[in-house]
Structure 1
């Protein structure tokens, strides 16, 4: 090879700068051709700023978001005559606004959080929410007075569980006093697991627990009179109305059908039997139980279409007045009422906003379905409640809506051309409209399932293979029978005539139950999936957005990004050991990859979380057959990759474990004397480590071990609780 060839590099790999420039030029041309879609990415950048805030290990300075937004705004102003600089400033402004909104929201909802277990302790407060079901009732109380707690340390809200008979006569707005055991909101069951404490922070829920005995009604404290008036003027009205509607529904419909009807009308799911809830989940129909865009859209849409058709039958009105806009106003008002009947939760607020924008489009003679509408709705929701970005409901609902609207836009022009051709051919056959409906239902269900599967995988570690078939039968039933009957029942209740529409609703719900249980019983109807890393979900989201928000061929690059995100499950190494925060429950992974759990009855929630993330329906036996886990009365010895881990149950085991083990796990303090020769002794995870850092996970590699803790993965944030070191 000549010197010139060596300088040029390997044969066939020579870079051509001109070709690279041409490729870059084509990308720039494509981007310019899609400039009408650039605005759709602003909510994505806004969400990225929120995501950055929640991903930080420590709480940033309060001024950081506002300062960054100011700087980005200055850059955008300086770039008014320079497009590249202007776009950089606008992008930075969107990112900074999202970050600042999350900071502001975190500070706005700040309230005391219980730092340690407390009780039994006397407390009094006002009932703001009741959730009844399965012989228990959960009471959410505010305006609290807790014995042995100073006012500055008293949570804004607590949630306690009580027996159903004990709280049978209570209603929202009642003042009660009782004896309860209170605990801080629970931390994740394992590093990287679901963080209920973060959700509780944004709900201003500072403690959870259970009551001892029946909470007793008391008179309203005089110093709470003004606050109570505000409460009774709005929240008490709607909460009381929800309770009365639920009671009237249950008085007409049998238990299972009535429980589903209450869930679909007023959003109270606590009366649904566990086996029915499992059937709905395993059949892929659980989304029907959470009031969202589907339900609000069906109720408001039924009012819109019904009123419009009714007014169209009156020629004097139909020919002189904008009955379409009148119907849109009625539909919007119906959606507003349904919003508060459903509890005005964040998912229902988001659904109302989406439906409201659609009706606003009708009133302004604009397209009622577009990605711009979805983008505006997402931006408003994220600015109002930035924490919703992390919720499964936000992710799944917007993923489905973006995918469906993108598919609708891609298909709209083709359908228009086809409809013109059919008009020329003459009348359609009778069968074509029903076939087109079920074809569109199949297509839309497939798109929605594909768009939401990864999020169901990430949050619930399961995929319902039978979901597509179940939804094909259940969605038309819900759309044409259940929800229209629910609307008629709402309209008839003031006159005491709700029995007939509720009977019709019950017939539809009976069929829905049959569909759910039948499809859930199919072999392999549900597939358990191992935990997907967060970066994989982010990659799938970005790839899906790239695929849906652009129009030209470069959109298909998003498929490759989605594939990279899904491959994250193959790159993730599951932990070999899991230790609960008190050391009372331990999981060990065997050679076959299954987890064996040390206890079969304790800490049910933690056990379920561990098994779900491991994609196991049940734990392996403890101790199992084989010599990888050997147990006696003093503890167990776990072996993997030439590592020896001692799982001590009593201090008596330490004498031998300190000599032979590489790692000691103990639910009690391990004395420093266990370290026989300084750093050469075994590593220890004892009661002090678990108390300080929460649950632990251990990965044993041939070259070393890696220990993660709940504390290290959560960082130091307002919603995290760290005992003193």
Structure 2
């Protein structure tokens, strides 16, 4: 072997040996790489390949235990990646269920298993045990979700109640633009086989039978809290205590998001840590006040066990989303460590929480909840290891510790989660640090303790005293959110990055947090590369909705839309991804060509873009030229060599993005990027319209 190669291998071995004792936090990273690879595939792998990957991963983990200190970690990394592929595949097949493949209107019967609110502020019901008119049970979706519009009674909206309604259902939609958020995949793992709406009243068919005890307890507690604290304060209190956000108005949610205070709604590490810490401290003090207990019982261990029970109860009442599960695992690991006289908080605990969630729910890795939760926690633990080191060396005065902890925790958590928030929500909050500095202490010293005291006083009928204190704290937080959100420049729109930006940013952050020694500075390289790619990202010149009902054309002033109303959700997402401040009506005013009646004409380089809206416009357009792109919301019957997109074509392609290049047009479709996966199955007969759209023949 060449001396240079030998030296390179020796250096790599030295790097691995230098990380001995600190490699476990990389285990969920390697597992996540495998999960990510599975979801990046364009074609669903056969079942035997998934089994092979899982078995290879298990075999590698067993074999690495007998290897040396250099080969063992490397084999373990590859084995965990293989295991991640197998786990993600097993989960995908395990949640498989029927998906509606047509537009349905008729009676819908089912049991209420979820109540929340949609982005349009409408109450939504999630139903299981679904019965649809004239549909065989084996073809009926496992679950459906229905938004309630119009006047609705609240009697049927009870957990475990069987309801019946008349409404519209359809298959879960794909991404509104190629490479965007894939709701179809998201719905697959929620076991939602159809989504829709109703404008008719929901009728109660059967009273609740007690089959959803935890859910019923959550909603009963939520209603009790909202009755004790009316208005947005009570809705906020219900969200904090039970995870039920169905009572919160959209304006309040927007104010919390615009000030980076929305994390106070999620029952996550902050709430779970405050609850467990308060219960642990209260139990420990109470037990120490009893002389017999103080001298003969393990007070600290008993307090930790009691706090663990309280945290588990909080997990059940909260509904158990990813952030709450991560927080509970972290709290459980910390409290167990206290009972075993071990270090309570470390990167190992964070890694253990990530491993548990990724094994049980591999798809969680793709969501902003998992990404933001672990980004904040990993960064906080890594930074506070350094801060605690300074404190042990007496470099910081004792009085400064809580002040610095508050400042550092708010700044670090905000900095760590900012790339994830900007990627998923296309916004940057400029005054989030200020809002958190004056709100988080109130949550920790007033709201959460008052909630615990209210639970203790409830059997005596005195919980209203503590709930009033809790309400004062939440009123302050809402006042801060509304005040800061009204400041000029509070929110800045951010254009959506390319597909590789967030993984590169995550890798850079993980190296900075997990690597030991000066080598951690190497994490600046992928982070800087991600930032450069983000700044240089280009948005598609032309976007076409999968229904053909909306077209978006990029102009020097921003995205121009072909119509001022209709397809509002698609328009909102397109403009958010562009980083635009305009609404749909304002964007429609930018359309660069004629927009007479139901026909809108614009230009994309040397190509003319024509959008035909409605049956009359579509039928009246009979012939086209080679330099035209024709989009229609109804089926087209025209001759000519143009590039055409109508509902038949778009049914196969999904949303379309078109870019003008010197050598012609580049057409990218949602189907091209999403591939043929379990949640994207399409009939083979639809391939012909896809080829027609791509070639223009």
TM-score, normalized by length of structure 2? Answer: 0.92
Task: Write the mapping of 1:275-674 to structure 2, written as runs, cut at 5 A.
Answer: 275-418=251-394, 433=399, 435-592=400-557, 594-619=558-583, 621=586, 624=589, 628-633=592-597, 635-649=599-613, 650-651=617-618, 654=621, 658-659=624-625, 661-671=627-637, 673-674=639-640
Aligned position for 1:48: 33
Aligned position for 2:221: 245
Task: Write the mapping of 1:6-405 to structure 2, written as runs, cut at 5 A.
Answer: 25-74=10-59, 80-81=66-67, 84-119=70-105, 121-131=106-116, 136-162=122-148, 163=150, 165-219=152-206, 232=210, 236-405=212-381
Separation of aligned partners in 2, 1:556 and 1:342: 39
Separation of aligned partners in 2, 1:46 and 1:714: 22
Separation of aligned partners in 1, 2:284 and 2:416: 33
Aligned position for 2:648: 688
User: How many residues are matched?
Assistant: 677
- The answer to which of 60-69 and 95-104 deviates more is 60-69
Separation of aligned partners in 2, 1:179 and 1:33: 65
Separation of aligned partners in 2, 1:651 and 1:130: 41
Residue in structure 1 matching 2:657, options 691, 694, 697: 697
Separation of aligned partners in 1, 2:520 and 2:58: 30
Q: Using the TM superposition, give the Cα deviation of residue 641 of structure 1 relative to its aligned residue in structure 2, in angstroms.
A: 3.1
Q: Is the 8 A contact 2:562 2:595 kept in 1?
A: no
Separation of aligned partners in 2, 1:186 and 1:490: 42
- The answer to which of 636-645 and 471-480 deviates more is 636-645
Q: Is the 8 A contact 1:361 1:368 kept in 2?
A: yes
Q: Is the 8 A contact 1:611 1:617 kept in 2?
A: yes
Q: Using the TM superposition, give the Cα deviation of residue 19 of structure 1 relative to its aligned residue in structure 2, in angstroms.
A: 8.0
Query: Aligned-residue CA RMSD in angstroms?
Result: 2.4
Q: Using the TM superposition, give the Cα deviation of residue 653 of structure 1 relative to its aligned residue in structure 2, in angstroms.
A: 6.4
Separation of aligned partners in 1, 2:662 and 2:249: 47
Q: Using the TM superposition, give the Cα deviation of residue 83 of structure 1 relative to its aligned residue in structure 2, in angstroms.
A: 5.2
Q: Is the 8 A contact 1:623 1:630 kept in 2?
A: no
Q: Is the 8 A contact 1:73 1:90 kept in 2?
A: no
**Per-residue CA distance 1:294-328 (angstroms, 9 max, x = gap):** 11111121111111122223333222211111111
Separation of aligned partners in 2, 1:644 and 1:702: 16
Q: Is the 8 A contact 1:588 1:595 kept in 2?
A: yes
Aligned position for 2:695: none
Change in 2 beyond 3 A, CA 1:74/1:510: closer
Separation of aligned partners in 2, 1:308 and 1:449: 33
Q: Using the TM superposition, give the Cα deviation of residue 624 of structure 1 relative to its aligned residue in structure 2, in angstroms.
A: 4.8
Change in 2 beyond 3 A, CA 1:622/1:472: closer
Equivalent position SS for 2:682:
coil
Q: Using the TM superposition, give the Cα deviation of residue 605 of structure 1 relative to its aligned residue in structure 2, in angstroms.
A: 1.3
Separation of aligned partners in 2, 1:625 and 1:331: 58
Separation of aligned partners in 2, 1:618 and 1:610: 11
Q: Is the 8 A contact 2:258 2:490 kept in 1?
A: yes
Q: Is the 8 A contact 2:56 2:83 kept in 1?
A: no
Change in 2 beyond 3 A, CA 1:107/1:512: same
Q: Is the 8 A contact 1:645 1:663 kept in 2?
A: yes
Q: Using the TM superposition, give the Cα deviation of residue 436 of structure 1 relative to its aligned residue in structure 2, in angstroms.
A: 2.7
Radius of gyration: which is bigger? 1
Could you tell me which runs of 5 or more consecutive residues in structure 1 were left unpaired when the two chains were aligned.
1-16, 221-227, 423-427, 676-681
Separation of aligned partners in 2, 1:135 and 1:85: 55
Separation of aligned partners in 2, 1:635 and 1:622: 17
Change in 2 beyond 3 A, CA 1:571/1:417: same
Equivalent position SS for 1:165:
coil
Q: Is the 8 A contact 1:698 1:707 kept in 2?
A: yes
TM-score, normalized by length of structure 1? Answer: 0.88
Q: Is the 8 A contact 1:641 1:702 kept in 2?
A: no
Separation of aligned partners in 1, 2:60 and 2:424: 39
